[in-house]
A and B are shown apart, each in its own frame.
Chain A
Amino acid sequence: MADVILEKVGKTYGKHRILSDFSVTIQDGECFTFLGPSGCGKTVILRLIAGFERLTDGRIFIGDQLVSSATDNIHLPPEARKIGMVFQDYAVWPHKSVSENIVYPLQMQKIEETAAKERTLAAIHLVNLTGLETRMPFQLSGGQQQRVALARALVSRPQVMLLDEPLSNLDANLREEMRFEITRLQKQTGVTILYVTHDQEVALAISDRVAVMDKTGRIRQVGPPDDIYEKPVDPFVFKFMGISNFIPIEYRDGRLFIRESDALIGCPVPEGDMDRLQSHELIAGCRPYDIELVHQEGHTQGKIQRVIYLGATIDYRVAVGRKILRVQQDVRDAGQGGVPFRTGDSVGLKFRDLKWFENRGIDAEEET
């Protein structure tokens, strides 16, 4: 097991710059997730660590070994890095059976045959594939193939496991099951896991720490899942973690209004930020379920524009002044307050929680 250190890593393809000055340290035994939109360079990071791509700048350490360095022209080939890797499309070799796939890393390490067989069977057991040893890949379901890939990556007891969107080709149920499986495997083996995904739900579910990346390949925030979700450092992170409303706020007569309107926001003023609030440097963000819909008067008034029934929740678009807000309501809450709202109804909005961000062109960004 080992930690992984990326030091001022840069990568360009021709004139196209993917990463620059990218530094992060992944702790030994940690499950660390790179979360970002597609094209943000997160897969490139994984491939740089695996050694499939060469660095343009910076250095990478696995454990205390320097595996890549642009300045010293060091590039350890992938096979010498003691890693395990799981690919989005499984990459299970179609001409080898389940056990032949899984034993391969051990054969490469020249592990003695009986020991290799034992370890293979243990790995097969670990991923719950016992009984399918002699099956060929085409006889397996997607989930089973991904288990083979996991076992193959684990069997050689790598220092680091690299997982590149391994769940995105699975259906929702399987995804949940495999998510649990990966967490279990990590707890059992203690391997360092580096996980790449664009799915914030998976990231929150399995990670010890998450790094949220933006389109330009910069890390916006690193931290434990609850920090990322509860204390996003900027609107980008907030928005990336789920459906979000951004509300431009105005401070008048000791109270908060939606800017350029009479819509009152019944929320406490953020402490110590009065000046910035007055100069419109702050913007409020909230999740759809941070807003409560009520029948009474005396709250911010809005008009229901659209209602979508989603099963457990009901999704509304509510017009407040010129602003459209997304609101979600638990189906049972909706039932308690009489009937659910209908298109055209007037409603009162109660804001339960507002997060404050520096306003850097968010209004424009949100509209697009």
Chain B
Amino acid sequence: MIRKLIGSFGIAEILLALSVLILVLVVAVPVILILWTALFVNGSLNVKDIVNILSRPDTYEALKNSLVIAGGVTFFSTIIGVFFAWLVSRTDLPFKETMKVLFLVPFMLPSFIGALAWKMLLSPRSGYVNKFLSGLFGWDGSLFNIYSLTGIIAVETMYLFPFVFIQVAGALERMDPTLEESARISGAGLITITRRITLPLMMPSIAAGALLVSLYSLAHFGVPAILGTERGIYNIPTKIYEQIYQSGGSFVAIRTGTILSSILIIAAGLILYLQSLVLKAGRFQVIAGKSMRPMLLKLRSLKIPLLAFSILYILITVVLPTATIFLVGSLKTYGIRFTMENMSFDNLKYILFQWKMTKDAIWNSFYLSLAAAFVTMIVGTLISYTIVKMKVRGKFILEFLGVLPFSVPGTVIALGVILVWSGKFGINLYNTAWIIFVAYIARYMAFSLKSNSAALEQVDDSLEEAARACGATHWQTLKDIVIPLIKPGMVAAFFLIFLPALRELTTSVLLYGPTTRTIGVAIYALNEDGETVYAATLASVALVIIIVGQLVIKRITRSRIEGV
């Protein structure tokens, strides 16, 4: 009798409990602790301190900068994303398919490496482009100063606009062409149709993409850290880092951090809530089947100029910075000319085989990403299965907790992990690799949940029930039917975590200890120390790994790259 009970509905409860436990421990507790530390001092509510800290000029300035950067990046990303999405899906632009893939490339590139490249190109005095132009025209000053809010906004936009692009291009492709055709039959011209039919139908996708950009930009660390801090421009995440780094982890600094983090949490929650509203409102979008022949706008004489413009955009935003990283990375000294005799593989040899610091960083990143990706993949499968497939009471708690990882920025995760795992609750992981490992799990759980849930939703319930009817127990069904069917989704989840974790900067930079630098941290530190050439060399190693990894993912999933 007891065995029967365990056999039938025990599993559901066990899985639910386990999933809830992991999510609570890894995601919920850190967030709650941050809010708690921000609001309470010695157990009593302390609003005065909060007001004090927020009205301090430097924190106030950081808040303002965050808003300005997020606003600017969202604005420009939306314009660029919508324009290119429309260009590749609704016009007769040549090489559309190739262009579509190329526009997604910035997705894969770590933005802080991009920032590093742009620093080399456009820093006021030594930037290559500035030097070249002032040499050409004999100017004294520089054309463009990358160390500014404008510079930060420009670089972030280059790497974040694909969020809008992918949403809008996807929606444009899926839109039922008969919606437009019927408008045309009713006598509307192409301009009217675009304005009255297409654009309103695309609004939810545009808004969803824009909100995603604002979410990422608001909590973005890498670009402002490289381009802003040098000139005293801070946003919220870099301010948190500066506070904690300078004070060596003092309580006041951590408390300031938690207050700033709370603002990020609230803002992120708000953005995600808005996004869910927008997506709900967008339900009416009619998505058609396969046969789609959307009306294509004939570009005529604009065809070649627009193609040239798109290619130029890719060249400037993708090829130029990437090439810069590779070229600078092989220079003997920063600042000398790019001639054959000035370049060699010595730097590469040095950082890969001789220098302990970089060797350790590469090794740390590798095993941490590998372990985090593996564990997060498995745990994500478990949680997604419980959310998608189980009929069990109390599931709504899990659904709520499952959304949480999507909304918690990396800086916040790092701070929360410090609060939880630095001895306060009996376990001290500070300065060990474990604390980074735990943080990675929290940071990338969202990717795993998304990928696994999508895969599980494809598996019809009747496939599982058929196995049960055939005499398979629940575990056997999981092993023989469910896991084999969602394996592609699990593998995708693994790589979706492994690759970004490999070059992670935002959380690692707050958590690393003397022996636990990661690739991201090492590149950042080298740049800070003025070792620009080695920073570039290590960055080119990271880029090679990323490019190879992306090709592997492509091979495995064979589907379109999806926005995560």
Interface of A with B (CB < 8 Å)? Answer: 50-52, 74-80, 82-85, 87-89, 91-95, 104-105, 108-109, 149, 152-153, 156, 162
Residues of B near A84 (CB, < 8 A) are 469-470
Residues of A near B462 (CB, < 8 A) are 87-89, 91
Q: Which residue in chain B gives the minimum CB-CB distance to A87? A: B462
Residues of B near A83 (CB, < 8 A) are 469
Q: Are B473 and A77 in contact, with the CB atoms below 8 A?
A: yes
- Complex CA gap A156/B470 in Å reads 8
Task: Say if the beta carbon of B141 comes within 8 Å of chain A.
Answer: no
Q: Are A104 and B470 in contact, with the CB atoms below 8 A?
A: yes
Tell me, rounded to whole Å, the shortest Cβ–Cβ distance linking B393 to chain A.
Answer: 11
* Contacts A/B (CB < 8 Å), 7 sampled: A84-B469, A85-B465, A85-B466, A91-B462, A93-B463, A108-B470, A152-B466
Q: Are A93 and B481 in contact, with the CB atoms below 8 A?
A: yes
Q: Are B470 and A152 in contact, with the CB atoms below 8 A?
A: yes
Q: Are B460 and A108 in contact, with the CB atoms below 8 A?
A: no
- Complex CA gap A156/B8 in Å reads 21
Number of A-B contacts (CB under 8 A): 78
Q: Which one of A82, A87, A109, A156 contacts B466 once the chains associate, using CB atoms below 8 Å? A: A87
Tell me, rounded to whole Å, the shortest Cβ–Cβ distance linking B300 to chain A.
Answer: 44
Residues of A near B469 (CB, < 8 A) are 50, 78-79, 83-85, 153, 162
Residues of A near B480 (CB, < 8 A) are 104
Beyond known contacts A91-B466, A105-B471: 19 more, CB 8 A cutoff: A74-B4, A76-B8, A77-B8, A77-B468, A77-B473, A77-B474, A78-B468, A79-B469, A79-B470, A79-B471, A79-B473, A79-B476, A91-B462, A94-B485, A104-B470, A108-B476, A109-B471, A153-B469, A153-B470
Q: Are A75 and B8 in contact, with the CB atoms below 8 A?
A: yes
Residues of A near B473 (CB, < 8 A) are 77, 79
Residues of B near A91 (CB, < 8 A) are 460, 462-463, 465-466
Q: Are B463 and A78 in contact, with the CB atoms below 8 A?
A: no
Interface string of B435-453 (1 = CB under 8 A from A): 0000000000000000000
Q: Which residue in chain A gives the minimum CB-CB distance to B469? A: A85
Residues of B near A75 (CB, < 8 A) are 4, 8-9
Q: Are A52 and B468 in contact, with the CB atoms below 8 A?
A: yes
Task: Say if the beta carbon of B7 comes within 8 Å of chain A.
Answer: yes
- Complex CA gap A51/B464 in Å reads 13
Q: Which one of B468, B471, B476 contacts A156 once the chains associate, using CB atoms below 8 Å? A: B471
Q: Which one of A76, A104, A162 contacts B467 once the chains associate, using CB atoms below 8 Å? A: A104
Tell me, rounded to whole Å, the shortest Cβ–Cβ distance linking B392 to chain A.
Answer: 12
- Complex CA gap A153/B462 in Å reads 13
- Complex CA gap A105/B472 in Å reads 7
Q: Which residue in chain B gives the minimum CB-CB distance to A73? A: B5
Residues of A near B9 (CB, < 8 A) are 75
Q: Which residue in chain A gives the minimum CB-CB distance to B468? A: A78
Q: Are B7 and A52 in contact, with the CB atoms below 8 A?
A: no
Task: Say if the beta carbon of B484 comes within 8 Å of chain A.
Answer: yes
- Complex CA gap A80/B472 in Å reads 9
Chain B residues 222-256 with CB under 8 Å of chain A are: none
Interface string of B468-495 (1 = CB under 8 A from A): 1111111010001100110000000000
Q: Are B468 and A79 in contact, with the CB atoms below 8 A?
A: yes
Tell me, rounded to whole Å, the shortest Cβ–Cβ distance linking A120 to chain B.
Answer: 13
Q: Are B8 and A89 in contact, with the CB atoms below 8 A?
A: no
- Complex CA gap A52/B476 in Å reads 16
Q: Which residue in chain B gives the minimum CB-CB distance to A94? A: B485
Q: Which 6 A-B pairs rank lowest in CB-CB distance, beginning with the nearest? A: A108-B471, A85-B469, A91-B462, A105-B470, A78-B468, A91-B466
Residues of A near B8 (CB, < 8 A) are 51, 75-77
Q: Are A77 and B7 in contact, with the CB atoms below 8 A?
A: yes
Tell me, rounded to whole Å, the shortest Cβ–Cβ distance linking B226 to chain A.
Answer: 47
Residues of A near B7 (CB, < 8 A) are 77, 80
Residue among B468, B470, B473, B484 with the most chain A CB within 10 A? B470
Residues of B near A156 (CB, < 8 A) are 470-471
Residues of A near B474 (CB, < 8 A) are 77
Tell me, rounded to whole Å, the shortest Cβ–Cβ distance linking A43 to chain B.
Answer: 11
- Complex CA gap A326/B463 in Å reads 44
Q: Which residue in chain B gives the minimum CB-CB distance to A149? A: B466
* Known A77-B7, A91-B462: A104·B472 in contact at CB below 8 Å: yes
Residue among A75, A78, A93 with the most chain B CB within 10 A? A78
Tell me, rounded to whole Å, the shortest Cβ–Cβ distance linking A116 to chain B.
Answer: 13
* Known A87-B462, A89-B460: A95·B471 in contact at CB below 8 Å: no
Q: Which residue in chain A gives the minimum CB-CB distance to B463? A: A91
- Complex CA gap A75/B474 in Å reads 14
Chain B residues 1-40 with CB under 8 Å of chain A are: 4, 7-9
Q: Which residue in chain A gives the minimum CB-CB distance to B484? A: A95
Residues of A near B484 (CB, < 8 A) are 95
Tell me, rounded to whole Å, the shortest Cβ–Cβ distance linking B242 to chain A.
Answer: 52
- Complex CA gap A366/B7 in Å reads 50
Residues of B near A153 (CB, < 8 A) are 469-470
- Complex CA gap A75/B2 in Å reads 11
Residue among B4, B468, B484, B485 with the most chain A CB within 10 A? B468
